[in-house]
Structure 1
């Protein structure tokens, strides 16, 4: 297992993608887990879910450059956080890859394998105005950009009860394999603008965003 891709977004922010090639036992041996984490791990089914949980945490350890125990918990909204380290984190995984983003500010990252099936659910997360700016010749890739961008915003904001369809809005963009999409999260009295990066990595799409501590 090795870092397949790494990008420094700014002085305080970076993300990395890791291809998961080891067996679960190999990944497990690289971690220090407390009793609660060990019990959770034992509940996971053998397979990709098991490897994903291990893979994101091994990658997090590599990015933080430490062999010490990392106290990583999940808050009431399902957002992971570090108890004793001054970083915000976001974790994602899809099939053979794990992705982790760290920063001094809130962040969100999503990685998805590009598949035709996204077409069937596009109406569930895209408004008509957004579907109208999707180009016919790159439709599948652009739909995945939109999904990953919205997922990254959702994770960065870090609260439940946010609808991709009704609360996260995207501006038109030109797909070039990588770039930036302007997004806006609107819910009740909340109105936040985001500049979300995206990139195609082989047959995967990645969306990533950095927010601000006082945005809520």
Structure 2
């Protein structure tokens, strides 16, 4: 399981990418899973889901550089939190990759996706008409995935189930590049929060990540 990328976003915030090449049995031996975690793991359907669950937690352990037990559990909205460590975390996975973001400063969000043509069929479900208008035809799929990853990262940072990709998370127009950033906002009844989301394309994958201000 090679760590292919570790990046310092700010002095106390990091993102990590890991290519999943080992078996579920191998990864499970790298963790200190308790009964409730084993119950969740055994309830997952399919080998790939097991691998993803295990790989994100092995990567999390590596990034935290600890041999101690990591108590990672979902909160009431399903957002993963650490009960015995001060770090804010976000986890993601797609096909052969696991991605993790950790911070001692602010809430964070990360998303990784393999690029597929199917996103073109559902773009109206997560982008407003204003956002659809700035999608470049020559980079259609990549531009759409940059938008999706940005919105998913913001959704994870926000950590509230009732947040709508289309109605509450808004992206400013941007020209697609292989490595870029997007000005974005989350608008809810309580106000409007502004963010800068980073994204990058590597191989046939797109990565998006954001740290709270």
**Normalization by structure 1: what TM-score?**
0.96
Aligned to 1:74: 74
Per-residue deviation, residues 45-78 of structure 1 (Å, max 9, x unmatched)? 2311010000000000000011111011110011
Pairing of 1:46-57 with structure 2 (within 5 A):
46-57=46-57
Aligned to 1:211: 212
CA distance in 2, matches of 1:127, 1:46: 34
Aligned to 1:90: 90
Runs of 4+ off more than 4 Å: none
Aligned to 1:132: 133
SS of 1:140 mapped into structure 2: helix
Per the TM alignment, residue 116 of structure 1 is displaced from its structure 2 partner at its CA by 0.6
Aligned to 2:122: 121
Pairing of 1:52-201 with structure 2 (within 5 A):
52-104=52-104, 105-201=106-202
CA RMSD of aligned residues (A): 0.8
CA distance in 2, matches of 1:190, 1:201: 35
SS of 2:142 mapped into structure 1: helix
SS of 2:36 mapped into structure 1: helix
Matched residue pairs, number?
A: 212
Unaligned runs of 5+ in 2: none
CA distance in 2, matches of 1:88, 1:2: 24
Aligned to 1:35: 35
Unaligned runs of 5+ in 1: none
CA distance in 2, matches of 1:108, 1:45: 25
